[in-house]
Every structure is written in C-alpha cells, then in structure tokens.
Chain A
Amino acid sequence: MIQATRLIACHECDLIHRLPLIASGKSARCSRCGALLIRRRKNSLERTLALALAGLVLFFLANAFPFLSFKLETQIQQTTLITGIRELYHQDLHAVAVLVMLTTIVVPLVQLTGMIYILLPLRLNRKVPRLMETFRLMQTLKPWSMTEVFMLGILVSIVKLAKMAQIIPGVALYSFMALIFTLAAATATLDPQTVWEQWNPDR
C-alpha cells in the first residue's frame, strides 16, 4: 500500500484535491460540495491541552459537589450529577440510565483524558503506545459527548419547577457550566489534521 501524501480526498463527496499549504487560522473547503477539509488553528495543540487540563479540574468539581437542591416547604432534596442516573436505574429504565451516564459523564471524561494523553506527550516529544488509535476512538465518540445539551435540559427543568418549589443551585452547577465552555473550546481549537500529521510511518 502506497500512501498518496500530497493529495486529499473530500470525506463527503470523495473529490480529490491537491493538499494546499494553509496558514494557521485559515481553512480549506471542498470545491465541489463545500465540506470543510482542513482548518488550521493557531497553537492548536497548546491551547487544547491547556483547556483540557482546566476541564479535568472542573469535571471533578462538577461530580463531587451538590448540583441542584429542590426546596418544597420544609423538605430539601439535594442532588449531585449522578443522582438522576441512579434514580432512573431504580425505576427500571436501565438503558436510559446507562445512556445518560455515557453522554454526560463517561464520554466527556474520555474526551478530556484522551486529549491530555495525546497532546501532553506530543508537546514533550515523548512516545506513547496506541496514540493514533486513541485519537480515532475520541473522534468516533465526539458526537456522544452531550454536556451542552444537558445544560439546556437543566435550564428547562429549572423553569418547569420554578413555580412548584424553590431551586437552589450548587457549586457543581457552576463548575458544570464552566466545563461546557472549556470542553467546547478544547474540541473546537483541536485541529484533527495537525494530530494525524504527527504520525510517522517510519518510526
């Protein structure tokens, strides 16, 4: 198998393009279907690494502290991020509980730790096993990280319950909101092509 390095095929319409030199901050689109071929980000690896490290700290805060509290008359119900998942599981909606767990906790954690696992050694010029395979797993899982959808779910729930009782936000809620922005920023600044190009077939 010979690699055709100077060419790139559009992943949406398969048209062959000669790989152009793209300055950082610029992007290239397919001339036929308009799909985004390559986007070069400024200091992509460094920025993503910094955001991922910050995100990991926020992730632990978001999971360790009270998320929301619900106050009705004298009773208070305090919840953490995992409470709802456990409750769904007890109500025999096992598959739904697992799905919520994957999309709000497991996959975001995989994304954050994966970014650090890949980018830290690249930055320090160290070799780690299965780097490209790890990155492939992360790219496959990317649509399943749904922290921002969960945030919208929180807002809707708060509005829905506001008339019924008092909702008290906890530390974890603010951490989670910050996590959404750092995770989104980390994903957006990471330019996959730059990571893939670190691959050296002759190593």
Chain B
Amino acid sequence: MSTAKNLNLINCHSCHLLCRAHESGSIAGWVCPRCGARLHFRKPKSVARTWALVIAAAIFYVPANVLSITTIVSFGSTQSDTILSGVLYFIKTGMWPIAIIIFIASIVVPLAKILILSFLMITIQRGSVRRRKDRTRLYRITEAIGRWSMLDIFVVTILVALVHLGSLATVKAGPAAAFFAAVVVITMFAAASFDPRLIWDAKESPDGK
C-alpha cells in the first residue's frame, strides 16, 4: 500500500494531476502545471486552520440560536422568533414535516458538523488508526450536508421580500440571521480546510492494531 506522498508524488488538490516532486529541496511556491493551483503534499496547516474555524463556528452558534432571526409586525403587534421558536411554532400548528426539515437543517446539521470535525481532529492528533474508513465516510457526509443549513437564511430572505406591507404586516430580519449565516459559511470553510488524508497518515503499530 503506497501513497503518493511515500513515492514523493503530489496529488494536485484541485485537478488531481499527479506531479513528481524533486528528490531534495522544498516545493514551496510550486503550482500545478495543468490547473495552476498551489501544490502541497497535504493541505497547509490543515489541523490548526480547521480547529480555528470550528471554534469560531461554535462561538457564533450561540448568538445564532439565542437572538431573534425574524421579527413579524402584524396589525400593530410585534413578535420575535428565534430559530427554535420557529420550529416550535410549526410543531404547535401541526406542520410536522416542515418542523423536522427546519430543525435538521438549522440546528442538527451545524452542530453535527462542529462535533464531527472536532472528533476527526482529536482522533488525528492522537494518531488513531481505528475505523479509518468510517471516519473518512463521516468527513464525506460533513462535506455534503453543510450547504443545506442555508435553508433558514433563504426562508428569511423570502419572508422579508414578500411580507412588506407596512403596518398591516412586515417581516424584519433579526441579528441572528447574520450570526447564523456566519456559522454556515465558517463550517463550510472548515470542511474545505480539513484534509481527510491525515486520517490515513497515522502509522499503524508493528503488532497490527
């Protein structure tokens, strides 16, 4: 089982062209001859960058859930909603499928991304060799589901556009929208800065596992 790195080959991150590095000397500043991307054996400072982004996302996750995401002014009365109270409203009015969709997209997915990436980084830093295929699969899931968290931001955008009838009914976006958008963007960058090959770089001990 040989990897590109062991053979002194670099797999371009963006176009997957295999490039041969020189026997000696650094590859700093090298670019892929085909697509022009910078070449690295592994994504640079992957663990540190991903940790920084994951921690930032975890911090923003709090105001995103505590503050109001929409404020509805209707016939003079004002009602502010957080993400969770929006979900509870749908449960109360019996719209279970919508409640489940929003709950998963807005609350479960961002939290799952933060937890999964933290778990992957901890196991990498401990040099774990257990269940590497499953961990790679976890990463693949994290990468795929992240964009669906934008759902609530889009709902706010549409509500704000449609319900704009002065004192009769108006929806205003709350401060949580900005924090929540930040969580989505930061977790997407975190998933992109994580290098799944680090999972496979850990050396297996001589006695097997």
Task: Assess A16 versus B9: contact at CB under 8 Å? Given A87-B161, A161-B162, A196-B15.
Answer: yes
Q: List 17 A-B contacts (CB under 8 A).
A: A1-B30, A9-B18, A13-B3, A14-B11, A15-B3, A16-B3, A75-B165, A96-B181, A99-B181, A136-B15, A143-B143, A149-B148, A153-B152, A156-B101, A161-B159, A196-B34, A201-B34
Chain B residues near A91 (CB-CB < 8 A): 160, 172-173
Chain B residues near A188 (CB-CB < 8 A): none
Determine which of A12, A93, A133, A163 lies in contact with B197 in the assembled complex, contact meaning CB atoms within 8 Å: A12
Q: CB-defined interface of A78-98 with B at 8 Å, one 1/0 digit per residue? A: 010001110110010101100
Determine which of A87, A96, A156, A201 lies in contact with B98 in the assembled complex, contact meaning CB atoms within 8 Å: A156
Alpha-carbon distance between A140 and B14 when the two chains are bound, in angstroms: 8
Contact, CB under 8 Å: B168 / A149:
no
Contact, CB under 8 Å: A139 / B98:
no
Contact, CB under 8 Å: B9 / A4:
yes
Chain B residues near A146 (CB-CB < 8 A): 147, 150, 154
Instruction: Let me know if B157 is at the binding interface, CB within 8 A.
Output: yes
How far does the Cβ of A200 sit from chain B's closest Cβ, in whole Å? 10
Contact, CB under 8 Å: B178 / A95:
yes
Determine which of A13, A136, A139 lies in contact with B200 in the assembled complex, contact meaning CB atoms within 8 Å: A13
Determine which of B3, B74, B95, B163 lies in contact with A9 in the assembled complex, contact meaning CB atoms within 8 Å: B3
Find residues 98-130 in chain B having any chain A CB closer than 8 Å to their own CB. Answer: 98, 101-102, 105
Instruction: Let me know if A34 is at the binding interface, CB within 8 A.
Output: yes
Instruction: Let me know if A8 is at the binding interface, CB within 8 A.
Output: yes
**On chain A, which size bracket covers the interface?**
35 or more
Chain B residues near A124 (CB-CB < 8 A): none
Contact, CB under 8 Å: A157 / B98:
no
Closest B-chain residue to A78, C-beta based?
A: B162
Contact, CB under 8 Å: A15 / B1:
yes
Alpha-carbon distance between A124 and B150 when the two chains are bound, in angstroms: 39
Contact, CB under 8 Å: B16 / A8:
yes
Chain A residues near B151 (CB-CB < 8 A): 149, 152-153, 156
Chain B residues near A127 (CB-CB < 8 A): none
Contact, CB under 8 Å: B11 / A11:
yes
Chain B residues near A156 (CB-CB < 8 A): 98, 101-102, 151, 155
Q: Which residues of A contact B (CB under 8 A)?
A: 1-5, 7-9, 11-16, 32-35, 68, 70, 72-73, 75, 77, 79, 83-85, 87-88, 91, 93, 95-96, 99-100, 103-104, 132-133, 135-136, 139-140, 143-144, 146, 149-150, 152-154, 156-157, 159-161, 163-165, 167, 192-193, 196, 199, 201
Contact, CB under 8 Å: B20 / A4:
yes
Contact, CB under 8 Å: A1 / B19:
yes
Contact, CB under 8 Å: A136 / B162:
no
Alpha-carbon distance between A9 and B197 when the two chains are bound, in angstroms: 11
Q: CB-defined interface of B23-61 with A at 8 Å, one 1/0 digit per residue? A: 000000010011111000000000000000000000000
Chain A residues near B159 (CB-CB < 8 A): 157, 160-161
Contact, CB under 8 Å: A132 / B15:
yes
Alpha-carbon distance between A1 and B33 when the two chains are bound, in angstroms: 9
How far does the Cβ of A88 sit from chain B's closest Cβ, in whole Å? 6
Contact, CB under 8 Å: B154 / A72:
no
Chain B residues near A139 (CB-CB < 8 A): 14-15
Chain A residues near B157 (CB-CB < 8 A): 84-85, 87-88, 96, 100, 153
